[in-house]
């Protein structure tokens, strides 16, 4: 094993031991469902904002963004603008209305707003299915790192990564996720702050890096390598998907109050935007340093292995793994809640004891982690760039939940029939477009448009929602 491989192994061993210890300690302070699923709703702005930012950063950020910029050029970097837009919309428009009544899950909110257990069950099924897709992207990235750095087969890297994440998330719940996210955000920040300046210095500074990138790849700064309609709709997918993603929405319930929430979202916006901008700089350096990689998804591991000193290379790789962990643990928690709270407790055993529901949640976490792993090991989902797997998830979330959530708290007339039609129609359209649609328009656009049209149209053609569905979110005097 190479020097950086040995150093990285030592760093990872210590790091993973800390993460597992946090999971065990968190289990001891989780006293209730609210503790396990939303950290008791008591997070401050720093911990709440850190867990939002860490969840936002994923393999899509550290592996996928670099991989796409390496492959198609700098034009993809404009999608960073979607981050402040999405967070600003969440803090200003959505959060004050969405959090008027605290829930444990996004499907629980949909049940309350639309007075329908079927809406809750439908949304839970959509969430679990989409999360399986998203976790696949993170597992693909973990296999790449294991292969490049440690020289082990990618499948063993995926298996080890998945089992470790399942273990500490199942044990500690949201308490463990929040505590580890704060650590992971720190590691991510240190990793990119160390890597970006060193990579630029090795190439003679930013100006020389820009010049050399254009020499190596003449169209690196050209607009049009990816069609403009595709770039626009990819930005739409990131923006709408960030607003509607269940793993981010549930963080709104986890923070103490609205002022805390807004400060936390502002912190998350600054942290996530800064991380993404530094990652884009590293992507340009990788174009110059490694111009003939077989796939752009190898660029970040190669920068860590071949450019940085062993300790800093290990730190950067730890940052990549932190990004994947902070996303997957949140997704596992959301999927576990969907299976236990929104399906098992909602439909199968409404009178389940808290202990039975807790065990159902832990089983849900295990199932949600094993399903994408088994699919990848059987060959389903291999071969795509990581970022495009992530984009499919964001498109599915935007097409299914943006309008039922946003219009649900802005428009009194939205009803359960409209919400159901919106979720089903948006999802089916998005999937159909992905399978057979135009390659120059991301599936989010047709899915989003169909979802919105169905929510408004079907709601107007069917009876208005009952008063109990509106009471938690609208002033009865208006």
Segment 308-336 shows an average pLDDT of: 74
Average confidence (pLDDT) over 182-202:
83
Q: Closest by alpha carbon to 410, among 89, 98, 87, 90?
A: 98
Q: What pLDDT, on the 0 to 100 scale, is given for residue 164?
A: 76
If pLDDT is split at 50, 70 and 90, which confidence band does 269 have? very high
Q: What is the pLDDT of residues 404-447, one digit of tens each?
A: 999 999 999 999 999 999 999 999 999 999 888 777 888 899 99
Query: What is the mean pLDDT of the segment spanning 17-34?
Result: 66
User: Residue 317: pLDDT above 60?
Assistant: yes
Q: What angle do CA 140, 145, 151 make, to 5 degrees?
A: 115
pLDDT of residue 298: 78
pLDDT of 315 above 90 = no
Q: What is the predicted pLDDT for the residue at 47?
A: 87
Distance CA 102, CA 252 (A): 9
User: Can you give the pLDDT at residue 439?
Assistant: 75
More confident residue, 459 or 380: 459
Percent of the chain with pLDDT over 70: 86
pLDDT value, residue 104: 79
Q: Is residue 470 over pLDDT 90?
A: yes
Instruction: Give pLDDT, residue 415.
Output: 96
Distance, CA of 399 to CA of 240 (rounded, Å): 8
Residue 350: exposure state from Cβ atoms within 10 A (0-12, 13-18, ≥19): exposed
pLDDT at position 134, please? 78
| Better-predicted residue by pLDDT, 181 or 85 | 85
Average pLDDT estimate for 168-195: 75
Beta strands in 137-248 (DSSP E): none
What DSSP string describes 331-368?
HHHHHHHIIIIIIIIIII-TT--HHHHHHHHHHHHHHH
**Is the pLDDT at 477 greater than 60, yes or no?**
no
Residue 347 has pLDDT above 90, yes or no: no
The pLDDT score that the predictor gives to residue 88 is: 93
Going by pLDDT thresholds of 50, 70 and 90, the confidence category of residue 101 is confident
Closest-CA residue to 103 (of 427, 359, 409, 416): 409
Please, what is the average pLDDT of the chain? 82
Question: Rounded distance, CA 346 to CA 434, Å?
Answer: 32
Give the mean pLDDT of 54-76: 81
**pTM, full prediction:** 0.83
Domains of the chain (ranges, CATH numbers)? 3-387 (1.20.1730.10)
CA Rg, the chain, in Å? 22
């Amino acid at each position: 094993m190479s020097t950086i491989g040995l150093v990285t192994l030592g760093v990872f061993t210590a790091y993973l031991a800390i993460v597992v210890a946090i999971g065990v300690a968190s289990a001891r302070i989780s006293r209730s469902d609210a503790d396990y699923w939303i950290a008791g709703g008591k997070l401050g702005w720093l911990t709440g904002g850190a867990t939002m930012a860490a969840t936002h950063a994923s393999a899509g950020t550290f592996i996928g963004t670099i991989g796409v910029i390496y492959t198609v050029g700098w034009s993809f970097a404009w999608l960073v603008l979607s981050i402040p837009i999405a967070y600003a919309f969440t803090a200003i428009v959505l959060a004050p209305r969405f959090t008027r009544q605290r829930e444990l899950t996004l499907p629980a909110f949909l049940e309350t707003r639309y007075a329908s257990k079927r809406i809750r069950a439908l949304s839970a099924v959509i969430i679990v299915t989409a999360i399986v897709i998203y976790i696949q992207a993170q597992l693909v990235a973990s296999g790449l790192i294991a292969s490049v750095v440690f020289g082990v087969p990618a499948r063993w890297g995926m298996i080890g990564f998945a089992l470790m994440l399942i273990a500490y998330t199942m044990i500690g719940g949201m308490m463990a996720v929040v505590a580890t996210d704060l650590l992971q955000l720190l590691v991510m920040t240190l990793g990119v702050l160390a890597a970006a300046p060193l990579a630029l210095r090795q190439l003679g500074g930013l100006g020389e890096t820009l010049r050399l990138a254009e020499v190596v790849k003449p169209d690196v700064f050209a607009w049009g390598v990816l069609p403009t309609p595709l770039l626009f709709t990819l930005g739409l997918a990131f923006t709408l998907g960030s607003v509607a993603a269940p793993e981010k929405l549930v963080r709104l319930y986890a923070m103490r109050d609205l002022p805390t929430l807004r400060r936390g979202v502002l912190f998350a916006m600054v942290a996530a935007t800064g991380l993404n901008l530094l990652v884009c700089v590293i992507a340009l350096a990788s174009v110059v340093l490694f111009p003939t990689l077989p796939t752009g998804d190898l660029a970040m591991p190669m920068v860590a292995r071949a450019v940085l000193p062993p300790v800093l290379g290990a730190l950067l790789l730890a940052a990549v793994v932190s990004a994947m962990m902070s996303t997957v643990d949140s997704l596992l928690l959301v999927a576990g809640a969907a299976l236990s709270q929104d399906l098992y407790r909602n439909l199968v055993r409404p009178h389940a004891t808290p202990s039975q529901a807790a065990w159902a949640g832990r089983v849900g976490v295990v199932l949600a982690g094993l399903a994408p792993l088994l699919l990848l090991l059987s060959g389903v989902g291999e071969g795509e760039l990581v970022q495009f797997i992530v984009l499919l998830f964001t498109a599915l979330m935007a097409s299914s939940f943006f309008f039922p959530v946003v219009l649900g708290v802005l428009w009194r007339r939205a009803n359960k029939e409209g919400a159901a039609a919106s979720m089903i129609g948006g999802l089916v359209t998005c999937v159909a477009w992905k399978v057979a649609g135009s390659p120059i328009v991301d599936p989010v656009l047709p899915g989003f448009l169909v979802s919105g049209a169905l929510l408004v149209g079907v709601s107007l053609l069917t009876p208005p929602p009952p008063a109990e569905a509106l009471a938690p979110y609208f002033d009865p005097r208006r």
